[in-house]
Structure 1
């Protein structure tokens, strides 16, 4: 059961605008032509940062849409956030390691998805808990914003598994996260 970061990025490496908006991505429409439907079927637990959660609250929940995930979700934040009635959302803070252990248990043999943001994915990477990056590169540039993965990862480098064109719009890149051998 891998722990995977799955998300989209602008061509210049940003996942959100400077004000944490994801609206730039919505212009590309339906996710049905993407790898997402197959990906989400294997997810048993997920984690997201507070900006992603707040974006979901504002643009989905407050717009009358239901919480989209049927699996437990851990939201990492250093501030107080409102809860969604009836949704299995667990608000947490601090080190990702003990939370990851709980996520693996809840996932019951299925994958763990790091939804966003890039810094949270970086924290899982720093702790040696991130196994794979799956990123759809969109044909836009944002110029500034929230970086895809605000970490320096050079040794060992990520290992490219595949590049897949999606709908003539996105290029999906899949990378395995390699780890240094134990001394």
Structure 2
């Protein structure tokens, strides 16, 4: 246990923090300890989190390797900024590595989805809709990913995207694709 409480002169990280963090993440195989996404080819997206909030308590028992999405969902970390492109990459990697998140329960869907789509998820769950696939990739005829839906219900070709480009491509491929606000309005009417 640390000799002081979190918040008491937490100060900055120790001078050897970068080395400790890198060693710890390497020991974990560059995998998120919460969602298990492998970020060995994208190590900048994997952080080392202090469980007790004390930045100078670098005991391995106090550390946790977390992808930036799981890290921002930790208590007192909600203000962490994650670029949309980085969130999409993590979501796509989760999808590829787990092959499919279809059939996951609502709690797991909330854990892996971008917090920016939680409003749509809450509305869908309240309307007893089935959980969506998170990070659904739309591919061209050659199997190249050309767009990504944040949330998708492939059986009805209903999807939600944040990027305008992703919306346009999904629509041109026959999807009923909506922005966040459009999705909330469409779902609320159903």
Greater RCO (Cα-Cα under 8 Å, separation 6 or more)? 1
Which has a greater percent of strand? 1
Which has a greater percent of helix? 2
Q: Greater Rg, structure 1 or structure 2?
A: 2
Quickly name the TM-score band, shorter chain normalised: under 0.3
